[in-house]
Structure 1
Amino acid sequence: MSFSLTTIVIIPVKSTDKVNPVIQLSTALLRKLQLNDHGELTLSIGRKTFLTKIQTEKLPDNTIHFPEDLMEFFYLPIQPLKFQAKVLPDRKMLKLGPIAALLTDSIDIRNNEPHFRSIHLFCEELQQGICENGGFFYVFSYEQFLKQGYYLKDDKWTAAQLPAPDVIYNRIHSRSLEYKVEFTHFREKVNQLMIPFFNHRFLSKWEVYEHLKDESKLDSYLPQTKLFSKDHFYHMTSQYDTLFLKPIHGSQGKNIIKVSCNPDSRYSLETSQKSMPANNKEFISLDELFKAIKPLIGNRIYIIQQGISLMTYQSSSMDFRVLCHQTMNNDWRVTSTVARIAAKQEFVSNLARGGTLTRPLNALRNCTSDKKSLEILAQMKELALETASCLDKSSQGIIGELGIDIGIDQQGKPWLIEVNSKPSKNFEDGLTKVRPSARAIIQFCTILAFDPAVIKEDI
């Protein structure tokens, strides 16, 4: 980071002066923070400030005694808390943070305890990482914004009124919810409070394609893509032996249609929903095929994507998920790369459809040499970073992470298959450790909390 932060621990103490609470710290910490003994200081936590006085006492370095009344003013639980600290000399202000909040629509109350469903372990992971690094983390729903959130206390998620956050990480699962009037009002309140809000919405598949198709560094890695219409469908069927039809707002491999032209000039149709009545049928003509597809699509907007003959893993479909996170100055880095292997009889590799994960080099070495595998992995990461950078520059709002799906064709060339603005948070090894991708989120929250000027404005 381009700014200096100091790790401190605040210890709650009984207030000796309830009217004019005083914070106490060691002389060494006072000098380190370049503050004045017995001077006035504005404390900033979340979106609240309080004018207080400073006293020096014989205390451990990097420890501040904090009056309980002051903790209650900031809506902090009365317990020792580790924070990052930054002094703003021109304003005589000491900012403590980050107060990072995760927004979700997946709060399920079980036996009087909240459970965050598919992201529950991930929330515990973020809590662990932020606690180790310094900061305060909680989970909330937009209906309860500024009224109630859940923080981890004694290994239990506890409901309380908590500070307005420095930064909000959007993990809403429902695309339709983001268009509701109530959610729009919530976003307006967030904007009024000037709270950075990242991964602010889902990106549609067509929107992503429109952003990337004119990028000279990327156009040769994009399968040809059109919005679904009868004319586009007939034209692309004449061009390619395989097509994939995908809902522009789809996720987890749902409702994808695969169309193939067989050597006998018959057409076959598969869907990722095995219960579909038209699944695995053959058709003599394009008219017959199109007639079968229309009810599968219904009123939803679909894209048609050129099918690529990709490398497989033991005869199963395979692609790669490259997870990218934003750092300082709109730079991006790769934090994770995995190979996704489709379940038998499936043509999509998503874990929600029974797919499994393996290390990318293990998967590539099954198809090509060690040297070529390393070259392909490097090319995938380069393609993912270029994609993330281009989307970040051309999209409105703050993007903190992207899951980029890449396929490798039979000649070893990478193809950009899909981009996910809210990638899944499955634990590859089942262990609740703080992964590099989670640490990247924590670092991004800290950047936004202490130096939002380095990030483009959230529109």
Structure 2
Amino acid sequence: MLKSKVAVQAVGSGLLPDDAIMLGESYMKQWKIPQGQPVTLRLGGYKQPIKVVSVARYEGMRMNQSLARRIGLANGATLRLHYAEKSSTLSLGPLIGVLVSRDYPHMPDRPFGSITMFCKELVDGCAAQGAHVYFFTPNGIQESTDTVEGWVYQNGWKQMSLPIADIVNNRLTSRKLENKPNVQLFMKEVKRKHNTQVFNEKFLDKHEVFDALRGAQSLTKYLPESHLLRNFTMLKAMCSKYYTVFLKPVRGSLGKGIIKITRLESGGYQAMFTTTAGTRKQHYASLLKLFSAISGKMKTVRYQIQQGLTLIDIAKRPVDFRALVQKNASGVWSVTSIVARTAGGAHFVSNLARGGTLSTVREAIGKSNLAAGRQEAAARLQKAALEIAEGIDTHIPAHFGELGIDLAVDTSGRVWLLEVNSKPSKNDNTPLTEQKIRPSVLRMIQYSRYLSGF
């Protein structure tokens, strides 16, 4: 196995010119790197002709401080190297760029607000794996698409100009930002100019997901009946067929704007609306009156109408499950974690942002009113999460490396898909063990290494 992990030492220009690097003799021999002949040094989109000097009994790499600064490396950074004899290219990497929604330069200790801890965890994970990561926002994108203004961690967060990364993980949390012309152009250009791989490149909407998965026969068993709500006829048909239906904003998240409609035995309908304070209930004498009340919202919000399910609950609080499914070091989907989420007392949705609580799958199933199949429930959830992730990959033309898949179990033990999120929160799906670097972070780095060939 070729030795590829190397520690980089930045030295003064008096010791080493800008166009030369020193490398341990064992790396030179293993990778057959020619000594003293011009080769191309590459880190992400940065390329420079250099000469490589072999150093006996030395296990690292030395480069001029100004070169290290240009490519955003701190003294002591650990990376992987790869030499391609055909093109005489010595590549360092992988260089991972994480595109985040916003930064706060006036808060040097928390430049990314609530996700700063996740970003630092990614820095530590990369150091352990032999990779380098930086973070940038849409404002850091440059016109040339050869560099970005981003943040690196070097004994504290620092802003600097950085090369385009081998891998870009799109963690933008707003469609508005993602659809900005400079962001769309950037993603297109870095793929074309630098062969950058961009994953989680777009948001998914509920209608798109259900529509795409309906094409896969093996997945229809997980899909509640679901349609784009276009008119009163559709509402009437679904409400005659099912005792309860849900209206979900096609582009909603965190349980915002969901309406639960229940047919009452006494006649008429009850609508329950999610609000920040809890649930607001409203009675309507007829379905037509209910439709009139919501048709104003339909002018600005597109709704998916979905069959209501009799989900398992704990003391009348509905339970659902968030599976984090990621591609691993071999580029294959695997389940990183599944957690149970129980709705808060005043809510019918389980999101943590609305007072829901986390527990393990086993604990939630054990306390729930599931009638049969308790032993197999966890395995069925795992199987469903993997099959749905593979279905998204097959039927939606975009590159995804991780997905948050919301699943539910009904009282007969059947697993259902609620929704798929292509930007899973780094707070919401935290496994319940306190670890320095979570498996979800390591897997993202391993997949980046797989994609970039490091």
Q: TM-score, normalised by structure 2?
A: 0.92
Q: 118, 122, 135: which is aligned to 1:122?
A: 118
Q: Would the alpha carbon gap of residues 179 and 78 (structure 1) be closer, same or farther in structure 2, given more than 3 Å must change?
A: closer
Output the CA distance in 2 between the equivalents of 1:172 and 1:298: 26
Stretch moving more, 188-197 or 331-340? 188-197
Q: Which residue of 1 aligns with 2:284?
A: 283
Q: How does 1:185-224 map to 2 (within 5 A)?
A: 185-193=185-193, 194-224=195-225
Output the CA distance in 1 between the equivalents of 2:410 and 2:371: 17
2:162 matched to 1:162?
yes
Q: Which residue of 2 aligns with 1:257?
A: 259
Q: Would the alpha carbon gap of residues 382 and 366 (structure 1) be closer, same or farther in structure 2, given more than 3 Å must change?
A: same
Q: Which residue of 1 aligns with 2:34?
A: 36
Stretch moving more, 340-349 or 80-89? 80-89
Q: Which residue of 2 aligns with 1:66?
A: 63
- How much has 1:429 moved relative to structure 2? 4.9
8 Å CA contact 2:4–2:82 kept in 1: the answer is yes
- How much has 1:190 moved relative to structure 2? 2.5
Q: Which residue of 2 aligns with 1:102?
A: 98
Give deviations 1:334-366, integer Å, cap 9, x for gaps: 011100111112111111111111011111112
Output the CA distance in 2 between the equivalents of 1:100 and 1:297: 41
Output the CA distance in 2 between the equivalents of 1:182 and 1:369: 50
- How much has 1:87 moved relative to structure 2? 1.9
Residue identity in the other structure for 1:195:
T
Q: Would the alpha carbon gap of residues 38 and 181 (structure 1) be closer, same or farther in structure 2, given more than 3 Å must change?
A: closer
Give deviations 1:240-285, integer Å, cap 9, x for gaps: 0111100111011100000011222331111112569x93111221
2:86 matched to 1:90?
yes
Give deviations 1:24-66, integer Å, cap 9, x for gaps: 22222222223233343321111122222222223432x1112
Residue identity in the other structure for 2:262:
S
Residue identity in the other structure for 1:184:
Q
How many aligned positions are there? 445
Output the CA distance in 1 between the equivalents of 2:207 and 2:167: 29
Output the CA distance in 1 between the equivalents of 2:307 and 2:101: 34
Stretch moving more, 14-23 or 319-328? 14-23
How large is the RMSD of aligned CA atoms in angstroms? 2.4
Q: Would the alpha carbon gap of residues 111 and 387 (structure 1) be closer, same or farther in structure 2, given more than 3 Å must change?
A: closer
Q: How does 1:217-236 map to 2 (within 5 A)?
A: 217-228=218-229, 229-236=231-238
Give deviations 1:288-336, integer Å, cap 9, x for gaps: 2212222344421111000100001232111001110123665210011
Residue identity in the other structure for 1:408:
V
Aligned-pair identity in percent equals 31
2:246 matched to 1:244?
yes
Output the CA distance in 2 between the equivalents of 1:20 and 1:329: 37
Unaligned runs of 5+ in 1: 452-459
Q: 426, 445, 449: which is aligned to 1:446?
A: 449
8 Å CA contact 1:339–1:360 kept in 2: the answer is yes
- How much has 1:16 moved relative to structure 2? 4.8
8 Å CA contact 1:142–1:183 kept in 2: the answer is yes
8 Å CA contact 1:330–1:389 kept in 2: the answer is no
Q: Would the alpha carbon gap of residues 411 and 20 (structure 1) be closer, same or farther in structure 2, given more than 3 Å must change?
A: closer
Residue identity in the other structure for 1:242:
T
- How much has 1:428 moved relative to structure 2? 5.0
Q: Which residue of 2 aligns with 1:175?
A: 175
Q: Which residue of 1 aligns with 2:4?
A: 6
Give deviations 1:403-442, integer Å, cap 9, x for gaps: 1111000011101111111111114559562111111111
2:80 matched to 1:79?
no
Residue identity in the other structure for 1:124:
K
- SS of the equivalent of 1:76 reads coil
8 Å CA contact 1:323–1:335 kept in 2: the answer is yes
- How much has 1:107 moved relative to structure 2? 1.3
Residue identity in the other structure for 1:232:
M
Stretch moving more, 108-117 or 366-375? 366-375
Q: Which residue of 2 aligns with 1:303?
A: 304
- SS of the equivalent of 1:383 reads helix
8 Å CA contact 1:331–1:389 kept in 2: the answer is no
Output the CA distance in 2 between the equivalents of 1:187 and 1:25: 34
- SS of the equivalent of 1:161 reads strand
- SS of the equivalent of 1:310 reads coil
8 Å CA contact 2:350–2:357 kept in 1: the answer is yes
